[in-house]
Amino acid sequence: MEYNAPAGKNLFDNAKVVGKPTRRIDGPLKTTGTAPYAYERHDVVPGQVYGYVLGAGIAKGRIAAMDVSAARAMPGVLAIVTAPDTKPVGKGMGNTAPLFGGRDIAHYHQAIALVVAETFEQARAASSVIRVEYERQKGAFDLASAAPGAPLDTTRGGEPDQVRTGDFEAAYHAAYVQLDERYTTPDESHAMMEPHASIAAWEGEKLTLWTSNQMIAWNKGSVGDILDMEPDNVRLDSPYLGGGFGGKLFVRADAVLAALGAKAAGRPVKVMLQRPLIYNNTTHRPASIQRLRIGAGKDGRISAIAHEGWSGNLPGGSGENTVQQTRQLYAGDHRLTANYLATLDLPEGNAMRAPGEASGHMALEVAMDELAEKLDMCPVELRIVNDTQTVPDEPEIKFSDRNLVRCLREGAERFGWANRNKTPGGLRDGRWLIGMGMAAGYRNGPVGKSAARVKLDRRGRVTVETDMTDIGTGSYTIIAQTAAEVMGVPLKQVTVRLGDSAYPASAGSGGQWGAASSTAGVYAACVNLRRAIGEKLGFDGDAATFDNSRIAVDGGSFALTDAGALSATGEMTYGDFQDDYSVGTFASHFCEIAVDAYTGESFIRRMLSVCDAGRILNPVSARSQVIGAMAMSVGATLTEELAVDKRFGFFVNHDMAGYEVPVHADIPHQEVVFLDTLDPVISPMKAKGVGELGICGPTAAVANALYNATGIRVREYPLTLDKYLDRLPAV
Amino acid sequence: MRSFTYERAKTPQQAAAAVAGTPGGKFIAGGTNLLDLMKLEIETPVHLVDVQDVGLDRIEPTEAGGLRIGALVSNTALSADARVMRDYAVLTRAIQAGASGQLRNKATTGGNLLQRTRCPYFYDTNMPCNKRDPGAGCAAKDGYSRQLGVIGISESCIATYPGDMAVALRVLDAVVETIDADGETRSIPIADFHSLWGDTPHIENVLADGEMITAVTLPRPLGGKHIYHKVRDRRSYAFALVSVAAVIQPDGTGRVAFGGMAPKPWRVAAAEAALPQGAAAVAARAFADAQPTDHNRYKISLAERTLAGVLAEARS
């Protein structure tokens, strides 16, 4: 089914199931510990043994020698796969750093050996007696020193990533007020609960990987490329993920080594990347340096805006597009946006929840706060006067449905913004300095082709099969809601099976496209099933009404079970009419913070996000997405930083104690409001994603609140107390 | 983790003898730190002597009017003991500021005193570390040192003692009781228990090989206001950047010790005497000899400011 014109009124506008607050249908499995996550799939294949990964102890250089003789003699050891004895494996989609093989070391904790043993403990013990000699090479590990000479980023589409509209320099110099500031964001880790994990089993030429991966169809092909085998001989199965955040978009070393280890040992092998490897072996959100220059008139209207971003990556890796939201969020006739990319020898930078935009808002939305102060203008009003309904660099492109101003006004009203103290550092409550901050948020609303198979059985039960993944987001539930709605059955009559590459290819989970895309694909399959039912029973499936397990047709009705067992597949694809629109999601974010005037400790008091993301398919799981992203925003603003050791070239704090994500006590109160909006351009569902919108802006709201509380502006994230302690009032 | 042998001792002396008699032997109580270190091969004992069956799990009054805390009393039990909450509240507050509820259920009084530093370079066996591998050098000194020590450190090692409980015990002038393989006992003032690193950062306390902690005794209650303020980057499950344990009397005199600054809870008599003059006077004396890095210089003013907040709380 091709979606080739904006949706008119359709069955989702009178929905009984879609859009209703619905508890996760997979909740009981999760709360009872019985959801089958990759590493615990003991039942899928007998004879599983354990792999333990050895990571490189240097950041750049070569393995001069590796002695595994002592390890081979250890109890329980079945096989050892070493990098020097393995031809470098290929690269899959999205891979930059070498996954395994050869003597060259491109980054710290690159996998260099896998020990396979009967037990995990035996594999671990044997890995520790492998002796490695390295030839170290010098590397570039400091973005700040590499940035000045960095060229424009050409990794998105091949062209230098610079967009100019009008004459920025002239307009900036002529502006009534000017702002010119630099901001830095650190490297960040996904630090998801479930580390990367895979079980591999070979049956002749055929490989099955029970794994934890966001993108099944992509990575079936990628495993083929990496291991130089036919993708048709690869099966991936990933029904549950304990978080991904972009870190599991691509194939990582766990899957590769499980496959190689299983081949070497002649047994199924399970590999979970050990927690200390997650930070340096896998991917991370790269650090950025960002410069904002904004010129505005006395009325706050932006006349000139420039946003330039610098990031670094391994040779061949892509850059972080920190300026993306600046191309969409505010009006202004004279514009310059550009991304520069330096070459570094740190671990691979790659996608992490709202790549580019999460970091970009941390600069842009603080700059807007600073601009508001220069103008002596309310930060909410400043954003309202600069709203636009067309893309500033491409005025012929209009936003499909943009309600940023409503988000801002409703957020301000609900949060009590009018009552805030406007003098930075001016509100004290005992030992606490109190502040409020806000920010706007933008994240694009992508959608992509997605397929599903829908089966009806003789008892009227509906089963959906698609390789879509549920990375904790609630895919199972919204897919069940969609099928229940279209097939006219109660939610409990629907079974959803996800994550198996044997199922029709979905859009997968990433870039906040999963919910909109996968449900549209399920809709397409259900329409085909309705047609098949109509064909069998002699009516037009498109004209019938499916409701309450019955089918009403012109002049009569059927029970759904009259159709017997039937199955249909369907795929939603998208016509190019969408190119005439910019499809985005919008939000306002608010935060109140308390800062200890003595110690500088900062404590969030409350947060609010008001989101405009089209139809909300399930307010329960959508809220869960947004509050999770708000919590992640607090971490990004206040604590999270992969600390770079610029001598040894690695992220030093590589465990859960050292890389500090927020704990529950850091997140006392969150409120999420979804505007009741519909986007007819994106899909028949009229729904857009929210999972990444939620990390686009709350960061800056926290930072602006900290400024409002203390009167101290810190532009280097994370905003830890050591960066402003000396500027707090004397005690 | 290397393979090891394991036994469970029935009495403290038997435990001490078992460890003393086995090169590479170690005690294990709650194991909340030791097992992590063994998994990473930072600790590689060949024999573990489990002391969970030896008793020492009670808190009893002493003849001197204080409390004797068995070495195996859990952090949870100790912090929730009614006498401790009433008379030694700084101890309750310090313990509850540490780790997590689950860890405090397992962690013991004796084991907590022996927890090892959280320097990230100590935790990465690819990095040179004099504490892990004497003579190897120190990667932390010119590295990422934001959380590391500023005073009492050495060229060999700039790590801190990471705990909270011991900082409170230091202001309470607790005494550590031990027994050895021969049944000899001794009492070690907490002030003398932890060692400064000097040239031997792998030696962290004055215990002899096989000497086992049996109890910690608290002198009679001090009165005053008991405050423990732990400053950290997140609100739970994080080690102190700086912590302040204080017992402040109505006349403004009192006792104060700092955590997160040094290889041991940092208490300086001359500094403490300046308490009535305020936090700046105390900090100036306590940290006069500090040798911070650019990353952790802030700790000195943070310690002063944290103490100022504590003194304000004491006055309120």
- The A residues from 627 to 656 touching B (CB cutoff 8 Å) are 638-639, 643-645, 647-648, 652-655
Q: Work out the end-to-end distance of chain B between its first and last CA atoms, rounded to an integer number of angstroms.
A: 51
Distance CA B125, CA B139 (A): 11
Positions of E strands within A597-729: 602-612, 644-645, 650-651, 670-674
With an 8 Å Cβ cutoff, are A654 and B40 in contact?
Answer: no
Q: What is the predicted pLDDT for the residue at B130?
A: 98
Tell me the average pLDDT of chain A. Answer: 98
Task: Give the architecture-level CATH label for domain A396-444+583-731.
Answer: 2-Layer Sandwich (3.30)
Angle at CA of residue B64, ends B60 and B70, nearest 5°: 30
Please tell me which residue of chain A has the smallest CA distance to B124.
A652
Lookup: tokens for B293: 């890095």
pLDDT digits (tens, 9 = 90+) for A63-114: 999 999 999 999 999 999 999 999 999 999 999 999 999 999 999 999 999 9
pLDDT band per the 50, 70, 90 thresholds, residue A368: very high
- For residue A349, the surrounding DSSP H or E stretch is none
- Count Cβ neighbours within 10 Å for each residue of A429-466 and write b for 16 or more, e otherwise: eebbbbbbbbbbbbbbbbbbbbbbbbbbeeebbbbbbb
Q: How near does any CA of chain A get to the CA of B87, in Å?
A: 27
Sign of CA dihedral B25, B30, B34, B40: positive
- Calculate what percentage of chain B has a pLDDT beyond 90: 99
DSSP type of residue A95: -
With an 8 Å Cβ cutoff, are B127 and A663 in contact?
Answer: no
Q: What is the predicted pLDDT for the residue at B279?
A: 98
Please tell me which residue of chain A has the smallest CA distance to B299.
A722
Domain ranges of chain A: 2-35+447-576, 396-444+583-731
With an 8 Å Cβ cutoff, are B235 and A125 in contact?
Answer: no
Q: What is the predicted pLDDT for the residue at A555?
A: 86
B267 torsion bin: left (phi>0), alpha (psi -120 to 50), beta (else): beta
The verdict on A119 touching B (C-beta cutoff 8 Å) is no
DSSP type of residue A687: B
The verdict on A726 touching B (C-beta cutoff 8 Å) is yes
Distance CA A230, CA A221 (A): 8
Chain B positions touching A125 (Cβ under 8 A) are 1-3
Q: How near does any CA of chain A get to the CA of B99, in Å?
A: 10
Q: What is the predicted pLDDT for the residue at B226?
A: 98
Closest to A197 measured CA to CA, from A336, A344, A48, A374: A48
Closest to A104 measured CA to CA, from A67, A152, A151, A139: A139
Distance CA A258, CA A347 (A): 21
Q: Least CB-CB distance to B305: which of A125, A644, A725? A: A725
Lookup: tokens for B272: 């403490």
Chain A positions touching B127 (Cβ under 8 A) are 648
pLDDT digits (tens, 9 = 90+) for B134-183: 999 999 999 999 999 999 999 999 999 999 999 999 999 999 999 999 99
- The B residues from 189 to 248 touching A (CB cutoff 8 Å) are 229, 231-239, 241
With an 8 Å Cβ cutoff, are A599 and B1 in contact?
Answer: no
- Calculate what percentage of chain B has a pLDDT beyond 70: 100
- Calculate what percentage of chain A has a pLDDT beyond 90: 99
**Which residues of A are part of the catalytic machinery?**
692
With an 8 Å Cβ cutoff, are B305 and A57 in contact?
Answer: no
- The B residues from 127 to 186 touching A (CB cutoff 8 Å) are 127, 139, 142-144, 146
With an 8 Å Cβ cutoff, are B144 and A726 in contact?
Answer: no
A98 torsion bin: left (phi>0), alpha (psi -120 to 50), beta (else): beta
- All domains of chain B in start order, with CATH: 5-53 (3.30.43.10), 225-315 (3.30.390.50)
With an 8 Å Cβ cutoff, are A652 and B2 in contact?
Answer: no
- The A residues from 7 to 66 touching B (CB cutoff 8 Å) are 57-58
Distance CA A132, CA A67 (A): 6
CATH number of the domain at A2-35+447-576, please?
Answer: 3.30.365.10
As a whole number, mean pLDDT of residues A15-37 equals: 97
DSSP assignment of A618-637: -HHHHHHHHHHHHHHHHHHH
The verdict on A658 touching B (C-beta cutoff 8 Å) is yes
As a whole number, mean pLDDT of residues B76-92 equals: 98
Distance CA A406, CA A403 (A): 5
- The A residues from 326 to 345 touching B (CB cutoff 8 Å) are none
Sheet with A390-391: list strands edge to edge.
A390-391, A394-399, A581-582
The verdict on A73 touching B (C-beta cutoff 8 Å) is no
Q: What is the predicted pLDDT for the residue at A141?
A: 98
SS3 A171: helix
Residue A665, amino acid: A
Distance CA B195, CA B191 (A): 9
Q: How near does any CA of chain A get to the CA of B155, in Å?
A: 18
Q: What is the predicted pLDDT for the residue at A327?
A: 98
Tell me the average pLDDT of chain B. Answer: 97
Cis peptide before A718 (omega within 30 of 0): yes
Residue A212 has pLDDT above 90, yes or no: yes
Overall residue count recorded for chain A in this entry:
731
As a whole number, mean pLDDT of residues B92-102 equals: 97
With an 8 Å Cβ cutoff, are B238 and A660 in contact?
Answer: yes
pLDDT digits (tens, 9 = 90+) for B31-76: 999 999 999 999 999 999 999 999 999 999 999 999 999 999 999 9
Backbone angles phi, psi at A409, to 5 degrees: -65, -45
Q: Least CB-CB distance to A125: which of B1, B143, B231? A: B1
As a whole number, mean pLDDT of residues A400-404 equals: 98
Q: What is the predicted pLDDT for the residue at A488?
A: 98
pLDDT digits (tens, 9 = 90+) for A648-678: 999 999 999 999 999 999 999 999 999 999 9
Task: Tell me whether strands A334-343 and A670-674 are parallel, antiparallel or unpaired.
Answer: unpaired
Distance CA A342, CA A153 (A): 8
- Fold match between domain A2-35+447-576 and domain A396-444+583-731: yes
With an 8 Å Cβ cutoff, are B309 and A431 in contact?
Answer: yes
Lookup: tokens for A281: 């072996």
